């Protein structure tokens, strides 16, 4: 209890875990010397008549060790709609507490054998998994809402699920951890389907009543791709598979291709809207650099989920996108010569376009843009001054 008390009062550290583990070994050694384990206990367990000293040990362990640690874990573990108790307490040792809980279960194992250890882990694991299921309902409902989903809130929910998953991994609940992986891949499929639906709706109704300009729909796709990226980062099981692209395989080639076809079409339209004569009232305040940066992030996402180069993803549209890149760079070059701060804006546009050319592996275009930036540098310094 002297070893355990600092863990309960303050926080769990590796040094304190080692002290608790040593204490349990000493307890087990003491019982072994008294022949309670080696001789008497196994024989009486077989006929269902435990020795009274063991019952007292059980009650003590349950009341003074297992329950306090279990209650701390449940208090600090995330719960939907509740502020994090871990932040409020300033502990930040939830994983270490799970390790301490295993040590407490091992305290039974060292003295009593291994029969009770799975029961202790299963009880806590199921209670934690019920919280995961509540997060699942939150995310599922958000992904099926008619309006724009609250992606930052979903990402926060995923982070909380990941924390619980770490605890379950620590408690050696491989099945429950795998179940969370299945949930995450289901979210990923729905998020990509939601992005595809938004793109196809925009392409079929390109007017003010559709609520979207090209940049707005790119923003929604980017939000959903952020969610999918978060899932990819968290789903360690899918990432560790050796053969093929696990994420692409789970989504299905047809669903991914539908998303890519729509994405490339919107990318082309978004770049076109940066040219004269393509102004959209919904795009006021959006610079070419902003749109191009968003395109880069989305093409990076597309490249990641397919393992293909952006030019291959763009397919027949690659030539048109390259021509638009060249037109936009010519426009930025002309803007640099105009009075005021246009040189600075043009430089930002050229930098973004240079990055886009490099992403598509259009090395000649990237070299041309780099040369233009070098020649533009003195002008931008003069305008800045």
The pTM for the full model equals 0.74
Residues 375 and 319 in one domain: yes
Residues 29 and 68 in one domain: yes
Q: Which two tokens stand for residue 191?
A: 């998020």
Total domains, the chain: 3
Residue 72 within any structural domain of the chain: yes
Are 84 and 163 spatial neighbours (Cβ–Cβ below 8 Å)? no
Q: Which two tokens stand for residue 348?
A: 């930002």
Query: Residue 290 is part of which domain span?
Result: 173-308
pLDDT in tens, 257-298: 999 999 999 999 889 888 876 655 454 456 889 889 999 999
Residues 11 and 87 in one domain: yes
Residue 350 within any structural domain of the chain: yes
Residue 159 within any structural domain of the chain: no
**Chain-centre distance for alpha carbon 142:** 16
**Domain termination residue (choose one: 126, 157, 182):** 126
Beta-carbon-side half-sphere exposure of residue 80 (alpha carbons within 13 Å): 18
Residues 279 and 322 in one domain: no
Residues 181 and 265 in one domain: yes
Residue 145 within any structural domain of the chain: no
Q: Which two tokens stand for residue 105?
A: 């279960």
Q: Which two tokens stand for residue 307?
A: 């393992």
- φ/ψ (deg, to 5) at 145: -70, 155
Residues 81 and 178 in one domain: no
pLDDT in tens, 325-366: 999 999 988 887 776 667 788 888 999 999 999 999 999 999
Alpha carbons 261 and 53: distance in angstroms, whole number: 72
Residue 156 within any structural domain of the chain: no
Are 97 and 73 spatial neighbours (Cβ–Cβ below 8 Å)? yes
Residues 100 and 28 in one domain: yes
Is the C-alpha dihedral spanning 377, 378, 380, 385 positive or negative?
A: positive
Residue 241 has pLDDT above 80, yes or no: no
Residues 207 and 250 in one domain: yes
Residue 168 within any structural domain of the chain: no
Residues 327 and 248 in one domain: no
Residues 303 and 180 in one domain: yes
Residue 46 within any structural domain of the chain: yes
Residues 304 and 368 in one domain: no
Residues 210 and 296 in one domain: yes
pLDDT in tens, 19-33: 998 888 887 777 665
pLDDT of residue 230: 79
Residue 137 within any structural domain of the chain: no
Instruction: Answer with the residue of higher pLDDT: 115 or 14.
Output: 14
pLDDT in tens, 149-175: 788 888 888 889 989 999 999 988 888
CA distances from 173 to 125, 143, 167, 170 (A): 7, 28, 9, 8
């Amino acid at each position: 209890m002297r070893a355990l008390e600092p863990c309960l009062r303050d926080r769990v550290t590796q040094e304190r875990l080692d002290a608790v583990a040593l204490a349990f070994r000493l307890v087990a050694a003491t019982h072994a010397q008294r022949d309670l384990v080696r001789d008497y206990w196994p024989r009486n367990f077989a006929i269902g008549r435990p020795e009274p000293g063991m019952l007292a040990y059980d009650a003590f362990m349950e009341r003074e060790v297992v329950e306090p640690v279990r209650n701390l874990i449940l208090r600090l573990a995330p719960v939907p709609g509740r502020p994090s108790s871990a932040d409020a307490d300033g502990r930040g040792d939830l994983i270490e507490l799970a390790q301490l809980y295993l040590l407490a279960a091992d305290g039974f194992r060292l003295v009593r054998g291994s029969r009770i250890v799975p029961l202790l882990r299963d009880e806590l694991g199921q209670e934690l998994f019920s919280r995961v299921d509540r997060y699942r309902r939150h995310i599922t409902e958000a992904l099926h809402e008619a309006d724009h989903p609250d992606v930052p809130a979903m990402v926060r929910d995923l982070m909380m699920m990941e924390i619980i998953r770490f605890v379950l991994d620590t408690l050696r609940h491989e099945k429950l951890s795998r179940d969370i992986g299945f949930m995450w891949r289901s979210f990923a499929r729905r998020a990509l389907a939601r992005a595809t639906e938004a793109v196809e709706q925009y392409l079929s109704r390109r007017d003010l009543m559709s609520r979207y300009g090209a940049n707005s729909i790119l923003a929604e796709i980017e939000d959903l791709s952020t969610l999918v990226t978060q899932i990819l980062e968290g789903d360690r099981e899918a990432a560790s598979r050796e053969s093929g692209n696990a994420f692409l395989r789970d989504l299905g080639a047809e669903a991914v291709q539908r998303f890519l076809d729509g994405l490339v079409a919107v990318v082309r339209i978004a770049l076109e809207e940066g040219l004269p004569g393509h102004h959209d009232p919904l795009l006021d305040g959006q610079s070419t650099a902003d749109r191009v940066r968003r395109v880069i992030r989305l093409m990076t996402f597309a490249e990641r989920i397919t393992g293909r180069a952006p030019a291959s993803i763009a397919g027949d549209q690659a030539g048109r996108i390259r021509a638009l890149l060249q037109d936009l760079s010519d426009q930025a070059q002309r803007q640099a010569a105009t009075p005021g701060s246009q040189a600075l804006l043009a430089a930002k546009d050229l930098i973004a376009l240079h990055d886009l050319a490099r992403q598509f592996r259009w090395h000649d275009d990237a070299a041309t843009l780099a040369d233009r930036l070098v020649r533009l540098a003195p002008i931008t310094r003069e305008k800045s001054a």
